[in-house]
Amino acid sequence: MEYSFYDFLKLIGSLGLFLYGMKIMSEGLQKVAGDRLRSILTAMTSNRVTGVLTGVAVTALIQSSSATTVMVVSFVNAGLLTLAQSITVIMGANIGTTVTAWIISVFGFKVDMASFTLPLIAFALPLIFSKKSTHKSMGEFIFGFSFLFMGLSLLKANAPDLGKNPEMLAFVQNYTDMGFGSVLLFLFIGTLLTMIVQASAATMAITLIMCANGWISYELGAALVLGENIGTTITANLAALTGNTQAKRAALAHLVFNIFGVIWVLLLFTPLTSSVSWFVDNYMFPGSEEVAVSYKLSAFHTLFNICNVCVLIWFVRLIEKTVCFIIPQKEEEEEYRLRYISGGMLSTSELSIVQARKEIHLYAERTQRMFTMVQDLLHTEKDDEFNKIYSRIEKYENISDNMEIEIANYLNEVSEGRLSSESKLQIRSMLRVITEIESIGDSCYNLARTINRQREANVSFSANQYEHIHSMMKMADAALLQMINVVERSVNQIADLNKSHNLENEINNYRNQLKTQNILDVNNKEYNYQAGVYYMDIIAECEKLGDYIVNVVEAQILKEHKPV
């Protein structure tokens, strides 16, 4: 057989071009429709049919079920979708991915798309160099589309010709005449190949070429397709490795769903493949035998996924209970680590911003919880209880520092991906927000340390001092709650900023008033000088906290109303 190592490298390079084209096409569409995709997925309801249709639409749009499932796992990780909703979207993604097979069957074999790829690239070239981000993203999509079919054409050209090499054909035939054993073997090969390539569309293209060239039978091609449906789940499961429990469950649900489907199809394998073959031969345009086989495989792929969804959509709750049983919830899980974002979710950079925003909201809530602990600490008399709360505040301070670093690192990684200019501005704003939130955590810890020093020095505050501290802390708490509301909402108004400024002005004025009054009270022997020092340290720190709060609100709101 005259098939050199150089020819093998050309085959691998053709596959690489196909995969790169699919990646560029998917990313281009994600950038063009990024916000719309977010709206579609985050607006999911508990309606199963809506969930399935959403999965079909998104996957058909971005031409990658792996990208959709990773996106869904990310959104479950971010708490934007429930586990049940994610299962229905993943079901739809399985149907949506069959569109790729039909595109390859109709255009890849019937029409010589390779002859159109260079003119398409020429058309996309001006778009790539456009200053408008939407045009640039559309240019990337056309480039990706062209590379995909260029790669498919080169795959067909560089694949070894088994027909002219009987010794290699005989080797393959050793594994094609084992009856149902051959079906199981090729199912395993399809699973393994898709796990390695991490793209079922690429494996589907290889399968279509093998069947179209007559290297394997249609039935064994169908077995490869079944294996590809199991293998494609590896991407989401890899992405979920660093996710939370719900993300791991969503990824496992994808695997469970596909395995259940493959099991019942294997039980009815011969009748199903025969029915599809009969339908294509009698009711579709068969064309040449090459095209007929590719149509049969595409039809089998579609029938398998549609039937699988129609059967298992009624068992969403059962699948949910199954994965919850396999992956139980751990007590106090993720209390002290990032809950919504992780390094394994960066395959869709444009959509990762949603997760970062959710994590920042949690970060803000944790600092507010920390401030509540400080207020509890002020009135704790028992030593054991005081030490317990103080230790918790110290622990939260460490969490705050770590969260700032981890979120910042995540945002920096996301910013290295393919992002629209608007998303880059959002990331810049988010980095400022987390810096200011970390400063709020520092202020809370400084307040706790001041209270601890006051306790160790056996200094007591007067009733008036306590009353003034309560009033100041109440104002700071109100400002914190307003800040959390602003961080939580994706769209904010200038009125929110004005409200925060008003609260901050109240805090500043009250601090100035208490500062003047403190000097008079110390002179009038209302309390001693040392008590006055600790008292004013607390008041001043609360005022600093108010400054950091208004900085967060400004960073969050101003980038939405004027260029940063």
Look at residue 150 and tell me whether its pLDDT is greater than 90: no
Query: Of 256-265, 307-316, 440-449, where does the model show the most confidence?
Result: 440-449
Average pLDDT over residues 535-550: 94
Q: Which residue has the higher pLDDT, 155 or 521?
A: 521
Q: Which residue has the higher pLDDT, 537 or 299?
A: 537
What SS3 state is found at 331? coil
Q: How far is CA 349 from CA 279, 289, 403, 460, in A?
A: 42, 42, 20, 54
With cut-offs at 50, 70 and 90, classify the pLDDT of residue 471. Answer: very high
- What was the pLDDT predicted at 291? 52
pLDDT above 70 covers a percentage of the chain that reads 74
Average pLDDT over residues 124-140: 84
* Amino acid symbol at 151: G
Q: How far apart are CA 217 and CA 370, in angstroms?
A: 66
Tokens of 21: 């084209």
- What was the pLDDT predicted at 39? 57
Look at residue 238 and tell me whether its pLDDT is greater than 70: no
- What was the pLDDT predicted at 221? 82
* Residue 276: closest CA among 309, 303, 316: 303
Q: Which residue has the higher pLDDT, 549 or 11?
A: 549
Output b/e per residue, 252-271; b: 16+ Cβ within 10 A.
bbbbbbbebbbeebeeebee
Question: Residue 244 gets which letter from DSSP?
Answer: -
Residues near 155 by Cβ (< 8 Å), separated by ≥ 6? Answer: 11, 14, 15, 18, 205, 206, 209
Q: How far apart are CA 218 and CA 274, in angstroms?
A: 10
With cut-offs at 50, 70 and 90, classify the pLDDT of residue 345. Answer: very low
Q: Which residue has the higher pLDDT, 338 or 564?
A: 338
* Residue 187: closest CA among 214, 225, 217: 225
pLDDT in tens, 394-440: 888 888 888 888 888 888 878 877 777 778 888 889 999 999 999 99
Residue 114, CB-side half-sphere exposure with 13 Å CA sphere: 13
The structure tokens 């039978």 sit at 217
Question: Among 68-77, 262-271, 314-323, which is the least confidently predicted range?
Answer: 68-77
- What was the pLDDT predicted at 452? 93
- What was the pLDDT predicted at 287? 53
- What was the pLDDT predicted at 265? 85
Look at residue 44 and tell me whether its pLDDT is greater than 90: no
Q: How far apart are CA 303 and CA 296, in angstroms?
A: 10
Average pLDDT over residues 375-384: 88
Q: Which residue has the higher pLDDT, 541 or 209?
A: 541
Q: How far apart are CA 217 and CA 128, in angstroms?
A: 43
What SS3 state is found at 340? coil
Average pLDDT over residues 524-552: 93
Tokens of 219: 């039935």
Average predicted confidence (pLDDT) for the chain: 78
Average pLDDT over residues 356-362: 87
User: 81: phi > 0 → left, psi -120 to 50 → alpha, else beta; which?
Assistant: beta
Q: How far apart are CA 58 and CA 436, in angstroms?
A: 37
Query: Of 149-163, 310-324, 519-533, where does the model show the most confidence?
Result: 519-533
Average pLDDT over residues 328-338: 54
What SS3 state is found at 412? helix
pLDDT above 90 covers a percentage of the chain that reads 21
Phi, psi of 337 (to 5 degrees): -150, 170
What is the set of domains in the chain, with CATH numbers? 5-326 (no CATH), 352-561 (1.20.58.220)
pLDDT in tens, 47-93: 677 778 777 877 776 556 666 676 677 667 655 567 777 788 888 88
Q: How far apart are CA 418 and CA 336, in angstroms?
A: 31
With cut-offs at 50, 70 and 90, classify the pLDDT of residue 271. Answer: confident
DSSP letter string, 441-478: HHHHHHHHHHHHHHHHTT----HHHHHHHHHHHHHHHH
- What was the pLDDT predicted at 57? 75
Q: Which residue has the higher pLDDT, 513 or 2?
A: 513
- What was the pLDDT predicted at 113? 56
The structure tokens 């020093």 sit at 453
Query: Of 15-19, 109-113, 265-269, where does the model show the most confidence?
Result: 265-269
Q: Which residue has the higher pLDDT, 277 or 33?
A: 277
Q: How far apart are CA 319 and CA 274, in angstroms?
A: 30
Look at residue 116 and tell me whether its pLDDT is greater than 50: yes
Q: How far apart are CA 499 and CA 508, in angstroms?
A: 14
pLDDT in tens, 185-206: 888 888 887 776 656 666 777 7
- What was the pLDDT predicted at 509? 95
**How large is the greatest C-alpha to C-alpha distance in the chain, in angstroms?**
108
- What was the pLDDT predicted at 343? 46
* Residue 504: closest CA among 478, 466, 471: 478
Look at residue 508 and tell me whether its pLDDT is greater than 90: yes
Look at residue 333 and tell me whether its pLDDT is greater than 60: no
